[in-house]
Amino acid sequence: MDVKAEVIASLRKNDIGDKYSHLSSVKKASVLIPLFLREGRVHVLLTVRSTELKHNPGEVCFPGGKSDPHDRDEIETALREALEEISLPPDGVEVVCRLCPVLNARGILVTPVVAFISDSFQASPNPDEVSEVFSVPVEFFLKETDHSAYPVPNIAGYTHSFIYTDPVTDKIQQIWGLTAYLLILLAVLTFKKNPEFEVDFDFQNPLANFQQHLKRSLSKL
């Protein structure tokens, strides 16, 4: 089995499908986690939000946004937003799975949609929403180097942060908060390895922890 096939098989074991699609009591959003292979290594495509945006300006995130009443499901939301933000055509996306959604700080239920894209894809950012696009090897989010954690509780136990220097542009990017948490989870599920740092979830069955956390969060609404 090649690298891509192994990654897809590993991630699909954690697919939650439409388990939470029926929830109508909360606002919903989706993010697309675009993966691709480069020289045999799995990379993830990330964006930097425009500094003109109202929420989280200038932060590193995934393509994504709020669901539209016309969206059929979380996958369509993620694909529509990726097309709008970075001109990623839906027919160039191989959806792998939906991971357990997370309730963010603004009370929005965010569903991560993991997919593979072509390594030749050239992003064309919408300047109203995205200022930069860059990629990082997924295994980076398992390593202690350039990682720190702050004693601010969230779903992963602490607020995690990574400092990444883009070898293409030499720009330094800080990746933190919910985006960092999702990338840690992605790396754990992809490589079936524990991070070199402490994270407050069960590495053998991480999604069970997150579903319990989500259930508690929803019960407080």
Residue 160 banded pLDDT, cuts 50, 70, 90: very high
Strand partners, 154: none
pLDDT tens sequence across 92-105:
999 999 998 888 87
Mutual angle of helices 177-191 and 3-12, in 10-degree steps: 110
pLDDT tens sequence across 21-77:
887 778 999 999 999 999 999 999 999 999 888 888 899 999 999 999 899 999 999
Domains and CATH numbers, the chain: 3-219 (3.90.79.10)
pTM over 0.75: yes
Q: Are strands 27-38 and 108-117 parallel, antiparallel or unpaired?
A: parallel
Token representation of residue 109:
């239920």
Residue 205 has pLDDT above 90, yes or no: no
Residue 54 near residue 66, CB atoms below 8 Å: no
**Number of other residues whose CB lies within 10 A of the CB of residue 51:** 9
106-132 b/e (C-beta count within 10 Å ≥ 16 → b): eebbbbbbbbbbeeebebebbeebbbb
Q: How far is CA 104 from CA 163, 171, 192, 208, 211, in A?
A: 22, 28, 26, 18, 14
